[in-house]
Amino acid sequence: MAVSAAKSNPKAAPAKNPGPKDNIKAVRQAYYEKISSHDMAPLWEVLSSLVSKEPHSQCVPAHWKFKDIKQFVLEAGDVITAEEATRRVLILENPAIRGKSQVTNTLFAGVQMILPGEIAPAHQHVASAIRFVLDGDGAYTAVDGEKTIMSPGDFVITANWAPHDHGNTSKKPMMWLDVLDMPTINHFETSFANYFDDPIQTTTRQDGDSYCFYGSGVLPDGTEASPARTPVINYAYARMRPILERLKKTGVIDKHHGVRVRYVNPTTGGWVLPTMGAHLALLPKGFKGERYRSTDGTVFVCAEGQGATKVGDKLFEWSQNDVFVVPPWVPYAHSAGKESVLFSISDRPAQEALGIWREAA
Ligand SMILES: [Fe+2]
């Protein structure tokens, strides 16, 4: 056709003969198609995206206001019971990867609610979970035979395969943030779970035993180092908050993170879990944090106060119980108009164990 068109229009450019470049393109394409039918592919076509010069997260920064969370979670109470749902949780999905039940590539985040009189039945699973209590007072989580009564700001650990159930014997709805390493476990395709016949596990210890025995600067005789999990069930806010206050008075204020502590496993001094690690940070009134970034995508919760965090080119203005996420290697900087406390959790322990964690200003 091209030849006849050139004949009918003398001004038209003559058809270009295929050059060596076109030839090699066609040759390569034919080759790729041939090997594709044998489930093979050329690395050189994808190498730059597989081995990028620096991390490029598929996730984006996102912010959930607690007033929205609370409204929608309360509405869920009209739709389904905690027992029917097994866990009545609204998933906080990263907007860039909707439908995957992930807030980052490695973490799940959701907000769970239990209404007065309800229980969430006992089960266990390979995925580890943490709870950060947002609203309500007096519901419990039972873990490994210890029933801990939860209050806002409490940090409750449910490690790999620990039996756990929740119940609300208070008069108010109870809400908390759940963060699990589920995407990591499912990446390895190692998920197991088990549901018990009895929805409420038998308690064998008193509330607070685990913190008293293991979190008080002593360890009972015979305690062995347990790198896979902390023996403490609940790092109660009532115990953590005064530590930040005392630390503030010493003047040790990090220029990025404020007055910050990390939750530790008292048998090792390491992180509370091998897959997830958490911090609690006090930002003094007027704090203007410097830019920081790290390879661990991080979920933040405002436990107290009001402030803002610049994440990449977005500004999140947060207040109490808001949740926001910073993807890996996206720079961020906190500021606080009034004294504020931020809880944060990430997959940093897993990255450190693999020797791949990095940070930069
Ligand atoms: Fe669970």
Q: How far is the CA of 161 from the centre of ligand 1 (A)?
A: 9
For 185-199, what is the mean pLDDT? 95
Q: How far is the CA of 44 from the centre of ligand 1 (A)?
A: 43
* Alpha-carbon Rg for the chain in angstroms: 26
- Range with lowest mean pLDDT among 116-120, 317-321, 326-330, 336-340: 116-120
Q: How far is the CA of 181 from the centre of ligand 1 (A)?
A: 11
pLDDT digits (tens, 9 = 90+) for 273-294: 999 999 999 999 999 999 999 9
Given a cut of 60, whether residue 99 has pLDDT beyond it is yes
C-beta of residue 208 within 8 angstroms of C-beta of residue 150 = no
Model confidence at 85, pLDDT cuts 50, 70, 90, reads confident
Q: How far is the C-alpha of 189 from the C-alpha of 58, rounded, in Å? A: 21
Q: How far is the CA of 200 from the centre of ligand 1 (A)?
A: 13
Given a cut of 80, whether residue 241 has pLDDT beyond it is yes
Residue 215 is predicted with a pLDDT of 95
Residue 216 is predicted with a pLDDT of 95
Residue 11 is predicted with a pLDDT of 58
pLDDT digits (tens, 9 = 90+) for 2-22: 334 444 455 556 666 767 777
Given a cut of 90, whether residue 319 has pLDDT beyond it is yes
The separation between the first and the last C-alpha atoms of the chain, rounded to the nearest angstrom, is 61
Q: How far is the CA of 123 from the centre of ligand 1 (A)?
A: 6
Backbone dihedral angles phi then psi of residue 49, each to the nearest 5 degrees? -80, -30
pLDDT digits (tens, 9 = 90+) for 297-315: 999 999 999 999 999 999 9
For 147-160, what is the mean pLDDT? 96
Q: How far is the C-alpha of 22 from the C-alpha of 56, rounded, in Å? A: 33
Q: How far is the CA of 145 from the centre of ligand 1 (A)?
A: 15
Residue 83 is predicted with a pLDDT of 79
Given a cut of 90, whether residue 71 has pLDDT beyond it is yes
pLDDT digits (tens, 9 = 90+) for 211-231: 999 999 999 999 999 999 999
Given a cut of 80, whether residue 245 has pLDDT beyond it is yes
Q: How far is the CA of 212 from the centre of ligand 1 (A)?
A: 25
Q: How far is the CA of 113 from the centre of ligand 1 (A)?
A: 13
Q: How far is the CA of 202 from the centre of ligand 1 (A)?
A: 17
Residue 22 is predicted with a pLDDT of 78
- Average model confidence (pLDDT) across the chain: 94
Q: How far is the CA of 274 from the centre of ligand 1 (A)?
A: 17
Q: State the virtual CA torsion across 125, 127, 128, 134 in degrees, nearest 10.
A: -90
Predicted structure pTM score? 0.92
Q: How far is the CA of 208 from the centre of ligand 1 (A)?
A: 21
Q: How far is the CA of 294 from the centre of ligand 1 (A)?
A: 29
Given a cut of 50, whether residue 1 has pLDDT beyond it is no
Residue 281 is predicted with a pLDDT of 98
- Range with lowest mean pLDDT among 141-145, 242-246, 255-259: 141-145
Given a cut of 90, whether residue 84 has pLDDT beyond it is no
Residue 70 is predicted with a pLDDT of 97
Q: How far is the CA of 5 from the centre of ligand 1 (A)?
A: 71
Q: How far is the CA of 191 from the centre of ligand 1 (A)?
A: 12
Q: How far is the CA of 125 from the centre of ligand 1 (A)?
A: 7
How many Cβ atoms sit within 10 Å of the Cβ of residue 153? 21
Q: How far is the C-alpha of 245 from the C-alpha of 236, rounded, in Å? A: 15
The listed range with the strongest mean pLDDT (79-83, 250-254, 303-307) is: 303-307
Residue 2 is predicted with a pLDDT of 39
Handedness of CA 306, 307, 312, 314 (dihedral sign): positive
Q: How far is the CA of 164 from the centre of ligand 1 (A)?
A: 6
Q: Which residues are within 8 A (CB) of 49 and not within 5 positions of it... i.e. 6 or more apart?
A: none
Q: How far is the C-alpha of 178 from the C-alpha of 91, rounded, in Å? A: 9
Q: How far is the CA of 86 from the centre of ligand 1 (A)?
A: 9
Q: How far is the CA of 122 from the centre of ligand 1 (A)?
A: 8
Q: How far is the CA of 146 from the centre of ligand 1 (A)?
A: 15
